[in-house]
């Protein structure tokens, strides 16, 4: 004899009263009804919270995201808000002082139509090489984790050429002393092609 047959034989002698059976059946129906109401209530609460968070994000001017950026050769945590091709970065310096930086841009699609820059494009621009002219007269280029002093690298025309590396990629940078800079991925840009012509 199998276990199943033993259970059937043992419990076949037991019988519940009709009142108990009716009560159990009515409880099952009631529980199902409450369970559906509870499920609907939970779904409504989740929906309200989701809509509220979207409204909050839209209310502060865009979607906030924690990012890591490079400032003066050091990686820095920042909060970035992007809206319609414009960004605002909020970060703290090494002394814990809060700072804010803003900017934006546009790009062109395959058909030549202007569109707002994406978050990825804006981050690339934020992390692009930065030239700083310090009060002591020195000139520095910051690019990701690199800090290069280029004070003595300018030629008689006030132009400096710097080759930068990051992640196996080479970037060629042409800098006109206090006249702007430009980068290229294959060669050094001609200094006459940016910020007002020949130097």
Residue 198 has pLDDT above 50, yes or no: no
Residue 7 confidence (pLDDT) = 61
Q: How does the average pLDDT of the chain come out, rounded?
A: 79
Question: What is the tens place of the pLDDT at every residue in 141-153?
Answer: 999 888 999 999 9
Does the global pTM surpass 0.85?
Answer: no
Determine the Cα angle at 172 with ends 168 and 176, to 5°: 150
Cα 5 to Cα 8, 12, 16, distances in angstroms: 5, 10, 20
Tell me the C-alpha distance between 3 and 115, whole Å: 73
Tell me the C-alpha distance between 86 and 117, whole Å: 8
Residue 56 has pLDDT above 70, yes or no: no
Helices (H), the chain: 3-11, 18-59, 119-126
Least confident of 23-32, 44-53, 115-124: 23-32
């Amino acid at each position: 004899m199998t276990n199943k047959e033993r259970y059937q034989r043992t419990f076949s002698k037991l019988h519940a009263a009709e009142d108990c059976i009716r009560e159990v059946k009515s409880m099952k129906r009631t529980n199902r009804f409450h369970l559906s109401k509870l499920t609907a209530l939970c779904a409504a609460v989740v929906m309200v919270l989701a809509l509220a968070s979207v409204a909050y994000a839209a209310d502060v001017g865009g979607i906030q995201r924690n990012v890591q950026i490079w400032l003066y050769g050091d990686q820095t945590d920042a909060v970035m808000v992007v809206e319609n091709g414009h960004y605002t970065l909020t970060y703290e310096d090494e002394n814990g002082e809060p700072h804010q930086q803003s900017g934006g841009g546009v790009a062109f699609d395959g058909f030549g139509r202007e569109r707002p820059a994406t978050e990825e494009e804006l981050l690339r621009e934020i992390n692009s090489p930065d030239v700083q002219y310090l009060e002591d007269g020195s000139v520095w280029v910051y690019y990701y984790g690199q800090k290069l002093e280029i004070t003595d690298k300018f030629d008689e025309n006030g132009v400096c050429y710097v080759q930068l590396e990051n992640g196996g990629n080479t970037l060629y940078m042409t800098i006109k002393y206090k006249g702007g800079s430009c980068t290229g991925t294959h060669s050094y840009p001609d200094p006459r092609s940016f910020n007002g012509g020949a130097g």
